[in-house]
Structure 1
Amino acid sequence: MRSTAITISAAVFALLLIFAAGCTAATEEKAGSAAPSPADEAYARGLAEYGAANYRVAEERFAEACALYADAGDPDKARTARNAMFQANRTYMEYSLDTAAAEAALREKVPGITDAAITDWLENRAQKIVSENETLYFYDVAGDYLYAHPDEMQKQNERSLDFDYVARYAWSGNRSEHGPYVNPVRYEGVERLEIPFEALPSTGILKIWFPLPVETDAQRNVTVTNLSCPDFIAAGPVTTGPIGYVYYEIPVEAVNGNLVLSADIAFTSYEQIFEDIDPEKVGEYDTSDPEYLLYTKSERNIELTDAVREKAQEIVGNETNPHLQAQMIYRHIIETYPYSHVPHGSLDAREPKVAESTHMFETDHGDCGTQSMLFAALCRSLGIPARAVGGYQMLLSETPGTHFWAEYYLPGYGWVPNDVTVAEVADWVVIPEEKRSAFKDYYAANLDPTRLVIQKNVDAPMDPAIPGDAVVFRVVRQYPAIVCDTAEDDLDLLCMECFGISLEAVA
C-alpha cells in the first residue's frame, strides 16, 4: 500500500485543494479553526497536480512541501511529501522524449525510416504518457520500433549477435540424458553493492533487502558466504522459500567512506527438459491446495480480468488439457506480441496502479518480465497454476543479465519452464526456418542451465516486508531494495547502478 493520499481520486484532489486554500464557506465560518499551513497547501497542490496528470509540476509541489515541513520540524509529514515527490518522478522519468526527440531517435536508429512510418509509430503504437498536456515518449521508442519490425532488426543483428552461441543448448545434439533435470553447471561469484559516501544521508538507518540465490528444483546447493557487515544483519540470509535475500539495518553514523555490501555466492543450475510430457498422464489439480490457490489468483502484477479470461478461452478453444492449453498460450504470445522494452518504474509507481500483465495485454508492449506475467495471467485464468520467475541469465553472454521467464504446474510433472522472450530472439536473426522452429520448440517446455534464480514469482514477499509507504521498485529483487527515512534523494533508484553480480561457471 502506498501513501493513501496518492490514491485519492481526481475529484477528491480538486476538493482537497479547495479546502486547503480555505475557499469553502464552511471553513470561513468555523470559529477558531486553524488555517492550513504553507506546507499543507503545497502538498495539496501536489496531490491535485498528480490527479490531473501533471506529474512534473506535482513533483515540484511535493518537493516544496517536503522542504516546508522539514523547516517546520515535522519529519513525518516531510517524509510523506518526499515519498510523493519520488513517486511523481518515477511516474514520468522513463518518458524522457518529446515529439521532436522521439522523431530524431527513430531517424538515428532506423536508417531510411519514412516520415509516414514515424508518424504511424508515434501516434498509434509507441508507449507514451501525457504530462502537463504534453505527450512524452518512452526513452527506447526507437529500439521498440526495431523489435516490432523483425526485418529491420535482422539487418542490425547481422554481425552483432552470435546466434549459434545463444542456441548452444536448444540446438544441442549431444543430450545423453532425459529430463527433467540434467547437465548441471556449477556457478561461483560475487554480488556487490557500493553506495558512494556522498550519496548517503548524515543520519538515520539504511534498511537494505539484498538479493541472494534461492533453492529451487533446478537450482540446488546454494551457498552464501562472506557476507559483509554481519553485525548489521537483521534477518537472514534466506535461501529457501519464495525469494532469496538478506536484510540489513545499518546506522548511517557507522559508515566510514563508501558503503560496501558483498556476498560470495555459489549454486548448481540444471538444464530442464520437459519435452516428453504425455498430456494423458497429467494428473488432476487439488484445487484446495494452498500453492494451487496462490498461483491461480489475481495479484498485483499478474492480473486476472474479464478480458484476459475471454482471450485465454479464445486461444485454447475447446482444448481442456492444461499442458496443451499452456503450450497454446506460449505460441500465442510469441506469435502475437513482439518483445519490447517497457517503463517498469512508471508502471510500478503510477496511481492508479496498472498491472504489468495488463499493460502488455492492452498495449502489445512487453519485455521478459511483462511477457512472463501475461503468460501467467492467461494460464491462471484457466485454472493452471503459473508464475513469473526472476533473476539473471548467462545465455546471451557470460556476463549476467537481468531476466524473467515463466513456469506452469502440471500434476505428475511439477513446474514446467518456458521462456517466451528467448524464443523470440530467433526472430531477430536470419536463420533457416527449421532451425528457428527448433529453437522455439525447445523453449516451449525446456530451459537452459545458464540461470540464476532469485525469486520464484514477481512481488515475492519478504520478512520483514518493505514498508507500505516506501517508494521502491517492488516487482523484482534483481537489485537491492533500499529504504531510508532521512535520505533526501531516491536511494533505491540511484543505487541500482551501484549493484553488480559477477559469475563464473566452474564445473
Structure 2
Amino acid sequence: MNQRSTIALLVISALLLLLAAGCTATPQDTKTLDASGLSPADEAYARGVAAYGAANYRVAEEHFAGAYALYTGAGDTDKALTARNAMFRASRTIMEYPFNRSAAEAALAERVPGITDAAIADWLDNRAQAIVSENETLYFDDVAGNYLYAHPDEMQKQNARDLDFGYIARYAWSEDQPEGTGPYVNPVRYAGVERLEIPREALPSSGVLKIWFPLPIETDSQRNVTVTNLSCPDYIVAGPFTTGPIGYVYYEIPAGAVNGDLILSADIDFVSYEQIFDGIDPAEVGEYNTSDPDYLLYTRSERNIELTDAVREKAREIVGNETNPHLAAQLIYYHIIETYPYSHVPHGSLDAREPKVAESTYMFETGHGDCGTQSMLFSAFCRSLGIPARAVGGYQMIMAGTPGGHFWAEYYLPGYGWVPNDVTIAEAADWVVIPEEKRSAFKDYYAANLDPARLVIQKNVDTPLDPALPDDAAIFRVVRQCPAIVSDTADYDIDLFGMGCFGISLETVDQ
C-alpha cells in the first residue's frame, strides 16, 4: 500500500465529512429530543452504529462524523471523542478498498499486459480481496499487484530487469565461511537516525500528544544497542526501553509547547549478527518446560496469532506423523511457501474492523498475506502443535537503500534457542528468473538462517506497551514500526497521518 497517498486521501476525506456534517452545531442542536428520546447527536451516533453493523461502512462514517460535529458543538467532549474514534475506525475499515468492479478490471488490465477478460473475471470473482459496503463489492487497492504475486510466471516477466536479486541473495549464496562460531556470526554494525516530523499545520492547537516512538532492542542477534540524542527529553514519561520484548520511548507533549513543526528524532547504533542454525541435529533437541512462562506465552492464542480447531487440524495434516519440533517447523515453513503466496493485505482494515479477525486466521481462510501475516500463520501452526513461535518485527536492509518495514518468524528449540526463518524473503526467489538450484539454495538458507541486514524493534506482534495504548483509540495495534500517536483533540486521524511522517536512515559502520 502507498501509505502517503492513502493517508492524504484519508485526511481530506475526514475533513470533508466534518465540513459536510456542519461543525457549527450549537448546544441546542444536541439537546432537542426526537420521538425516540434521543438527541440529534445521539441519534446520529446510533445510526452510525447500526450502519456499521449492517456493513454500510461509508454511511457509518458519515453518521459518526455528524455525531462528532454535534457533540463538539455542544461541548460534550467525552461523546465527541467516542464519535470521532468511531468515525476513524469506520474510515480505516473501508479506506484500503478504493475500486469498484470496473475500476478493478481496469487496474488489472493496465498492470498485467495481455491478461484476458476471463482471467480478470476469475481473479475478481474467486481470489481478489474485497469488502462489501452499501451492497457494493469493493476491491483492495493492490488488486493487480497481488495477481502478479499469485502468478510467478507473470511476476518474473516484470521483475527480471528491475530486481537485483544477486544483492538480495548475497548472504544466502555466499561461499565465504562465516566469521566466528555459530550460531551468531558475521556481525555488521549500523548507525543512523529515526525521525518523526509532523508539520505545524497538521498539529492540534490544544491537548496532549501521546507518542510511543519505536527503538531497537537487544536480542541474541542484535547487540550493543545505543540510543542517544533523543529529542524533547523534558516530555519523556517512560523509557527509553531497549531491552525486553519491544523497544520504544513514550512522550506526552502539550500541543501548546510545540513551536513550529513537531520533530522527534533519535540516533541509533547497534550490531546485527547473521544467524546460522542449519546444522541443527533433531536428536539433540531437548524437552520443553511446559510450565515456563515463555513457553505458555508463545504457545497460546493472541490477538493476531489465533489457534483454532481448523488451524490445529491443518497443522497436524502438514506435519503428519512427525513429532520432532524442528522437523515439524521445517515442514510448516515449506508448506507456507508452497501454499500461501505472498500478497499485500489491508492491514488497516483488518486491525480496525469489527468483529475482529486475526491476521493469521485471515491468511488461513483467504490465502492472502504479506510478511507479517505469513509469519503470524507460521507461528499459529507451530503453536497449535506445542512449538513456541513468534513473529518478529522491525526493518530489513536486504535491498539497497532505505530500510523497509518487515516481519519474519522464530521458533524455539530447547538446547538451541530461537531459530529464525523468513518465508517472505524465501518466496521472493519465485519472482525472478534464476537457476533452479540457486532458487532452492536460497529457500533452504532462510528455513533456519537469517541475514544480518535487520533492525529488530519487537519480538512479537501485538506486544503490549507500558503505558498501554488506550482501548478506545483508533490506532494501529499490530506492530510498532512507526510511532503510535494519540490525540484526543485532533479532528483527523493523526496516528495514520504520522505513519507518513516517520523514517529511518541507516548506514553500515566499520567496526
TM-score bin, normalised by smaller chain: over 0.9
In structure 2, the partner of 1:418 is: 421
In structure 1, the partner of 2:336 is: 333
Q: Which amino acid aligns with 1:270?
A: Y
In structure 1, the partner of 2:498 is: 495
Gaps (5+ residues) in structure 2?
1-32
In structure 2, the partner of 1:431 is: 434
1:287 corresponds to 2:296: no
1:231 corresponds to 2:234: yes
Q: Which amino acid aligns with 1:119?
A: A
C-alpha change, 1:260 and 1:286, in structure 2 (3 Å) is: same
1:370 corresponds to 2:373: yes
1:440 corresponds to 2:443: yes
Quick one: distance in 2 between partners of 1:287 and 1:22?
Answer: 60
1:75 corresponds to 2:77: yes
Tell me the C-alpha RMSD between the 2 structures.
0.8
1:183 corresponds to 2:189: no
In structure 2, the partner of 1:9 is: none
CA deviation map 1:381-421 (0-9, x unaligned): 00000000000000022320000000000000000000000
1:153 corresponds to 2:155: yes
In structure 1, the partner of 2:174 is: 172
In structure 1, the partner of 2:64 is: 62
Q: What's the offset of the Cα at 1:22? A: 4.3
Q: How does 1:264-413 map to 2 (within 5 A)?
A: 264-413=267-416
Whether the 8 Å CA contact 2:178–2:185 is kept in 1: the answer is: no
In structure 2, the partner of 1:220 is: 223
In structure 1, the partner of 2:4 is: none
Q: Which amino acid aligns with 1:42?
A: A
Of 454, 459, 463, the match for 1:451: 454
C-alpha change, 1:37 and 1:286, in structure 2 (3 Å) is: same
Of 119, 136, 139, the match for 2:138: 136
Quick one: distance in 2 between partners of 1:419 and 1:38?
Answer: 53
Q: How does 1:172-211 map to 2 (within 5 A)?
A: 172-177=174-179, 178-211=181-214
Q: What's the offset of the Cα at 1:224? A: 0.2
1:115 corresponds to 2:117: yes
Quick one: distance in 2 between partners of 1:128 and 1:22?
Answer: 38
Gaps (5+ residues) in structure 1?
1-19, 24-34
Q: Which amino acid aligns with 2:419?
A: V
Q: 3-state SS of the aligned residue for 1:94?
A: coil
Q: Which amino acid aligns with 2:342?
A: Y
In structure 2, the partner of 1:27 is: none
Of 35, 47, 65, the match for 1:45: 47
Quick one: distance in 1 between partners of 2:379 and 2:138?
Answer: 30
Q: 3-state SS of the aligned residue for 1:123?
A: helix
Q: 3-state SS of the aligned residue for 1:466?
A: coil
Q: Which amino acid aligns with 1:400?
A: P
CA deviation map 1:422-452 (0-9, x unaligned): 0000000111111000000000000000000
Quick one: distance in 2 between partners of 1:350 and 1:452?
Answer: 30
Q: What's the offset of the Cα at 1:373? A: 0.2
Quick one: distance in 2 between partners of 1:175 and 1:151?
Answer: 34
Q: 3-state SS of the aligned residue for 1:117?
A: helix
Percent same amino acid among aligned pairs?
81
Q: How does 1:78-117 map to 2 (within 5 A)?
A: 78-117=80-119
CA deviation map 1:325-351 (0-9, x unaligned): 000000100011111000000000000
Quick one: distance in 1 between partners of 2:58 and 2:294?
Answer: 42
Q: Which amino acid aligns with 1:168?
A: R
Quick one: distance in 2 between partners of 1:352 and 1:337?
Answer: 24
Q: 3-state SS of the aligned residue for 2:80?
A: helix
In structure 2, the partner of 1:13 is: none
In structure 2, the partner of 1:486 is: 489
Q: Which amino acid aligns with 1:66?
A: Y
Quick one: distance in 2 between partners of 1:113 and 1:310?
Answer: 37
Q: What's the offset of the Cα at 1:176? A: 3.7
Q: 3-state SS of the aligned residue for 1:309?
A: helix
Quick one: distance in 1 between partners of 2:177 and 2:395?
Answer: 24
Quick one: distance in 1 between partners of 2:462 and 2:508?
Answer: 29
Quick one: distance in 1 between partners of 2:178 and 2:103?
Answer: 53
In structure 2, the partner of 1:5 is: none
Q: 3-state SS of the aligned residue for 1:354?
A: coil
CA deviation map 1:148-183 (0-9, x unaligned): 000000000110011111100000000244420000
Quick one: distance in 2 between partners of 1:297 and 1:239?
Answer: 25
In structure 2, the partner of 1:6 is: none
State the TM-score, normalizing by the size of structure 2. Answer: 0.93
